[in-house]
């Protein structure tokens, strides 16, 4: 018995299906993919990080958004749900539904064993094509480590790491610094 290939979806068909779905689905090149659930550390880190960034921003006009907001990376390519998105200009949205962001300044993914290769590889490469994106951060849930990739004026991307709970992570695009002790508050790491 052979598997039947699934018909390719247009971005419009994907948006219609995803908006009606009880689960979030990412989209790439005509195909829709259900997103997996997270772990306890993942669920603790994301709100910790959102709160720490919002606090570090002070009176800045930058807006921190949760993974409930979809990001369109390219019109016919990737539509994704980053764990956190930050916009430091007027948010530009795809349509009147106000659920698809077009102009993120910073995108953050909290790594999990099942998605780490995807987040570091394919998704990272896709995100870096966004003209408005200035930084892309990968946050470990197995150790206190935050990797921030920054767009340089040359167009190259430079990696900066903060490692250990006593470290501080800089988000230059936001002019904000966040202590890893705040990001990882109440997270228990398993012994290696």
Q: How do residues 151-181 score in pLDDT, each as one tens digit?
A: 999 999 999 999 999 999 999 999 999 999 9
- Predicted pLDDT of residue 5: 60
Two tokens at 131? 């003209």
Task: State how many domains the chain has.
Answer: 1
CB neighbour burial string for 106-134, b if at least 16 within 10 angstroms, e if fewer: bbbbbbbeebeeebeeebbeebeebebbb
CATH code of residue 130: 3.90.1570.10
The confidence band for 77, taking pLDDT boundaries of 50, 70 and 90, is confident
Instruction: Let me know if residue 4 belongs to a domain.
Output: no
Instruction: Let me know if residue 7 belongs to a domain.
Output: no
- Predicted pLDDT of residue 1: 42
Instruction: Let me know if residue 192 belongs to a domain.
Output: no
Instruction: Let me know if residue 92 belongs to a domain.
Output: yes
Instruction: Let me know if residue 52 belongs to a domain.
Output: yes
- Predicted pLDDT of residue 4: 53
β-strand partners of 160? 148
Q: How do residues 104-148 score in pLDDT, each as one tens digit?
A: 999 999 998 888 999 999 999 999 999 999 999 999 999 999 999
- Contacts of residue 120, defined as CB under 8 A and 6 or more positions apart, other chains included, come to 111, 138
What mean pLDDT is predicted for residues 74-80?
Answer: 87
Instruction: Let me know if residue 15 belongs to a domain.
Output: no
Q: How do residues 6-57 score in pLDDT, each as one tens digit?
A: 788 999 999 999 999 888 898 998 889 888 777 899 999 999 999 999 999 9
Instruction: Let me know if residue 44 belongs to a domain.
Output: yes
- Predicted pLDDT of residue 22: 86
- Predicted pLDDT of residue 2: 46
CA atoms of 152 and 185, how far apart (whole Å): 31
| Domain region containing 102 | 38-183
Instruction: Let me know if residue 54 belongs to a domain.
Output: yes
């Amino acid at each position: 018995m052979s598997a039947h290939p699934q018909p390719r979806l247009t971005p419009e068909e994907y948006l219609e299906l995803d908006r009606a779905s009880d689960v979030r689905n990412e989209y790439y090149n005509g195909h829709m993919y259900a997103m997996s659930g997270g772990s306890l550390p993942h669920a603790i880190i994301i709100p910790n990080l959102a709160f720490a960034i919002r606090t570090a921003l002070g009176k800045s006009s930058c807006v921190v958004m949760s993974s409930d907001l979809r990001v369109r990376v390219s019109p016919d390519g990737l539509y994704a749900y980053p764990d956190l998105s930050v916009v430091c200009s007027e948010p530009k949205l795809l349509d009147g539904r106000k659920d698809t962001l077009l102009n993120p300044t910073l995108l953050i993914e909290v790594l999990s064993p099942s998605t780490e290769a995807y987040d570091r590889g394919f998704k990272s490469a896709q995100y870096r094509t966004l003209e408005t994106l200035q930084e892309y951060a990968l946050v470990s849930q197995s150790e206190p480590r935050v990797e921030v990739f920054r767009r340089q004026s040359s167009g190259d991307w430079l990696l900066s790491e903060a490692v250990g709970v006593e470290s501080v992570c800089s988000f230059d695009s936001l002019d904000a610094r966040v202590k890893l002790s705040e990001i990882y508050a109440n997270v228990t790491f398993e012994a290696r």
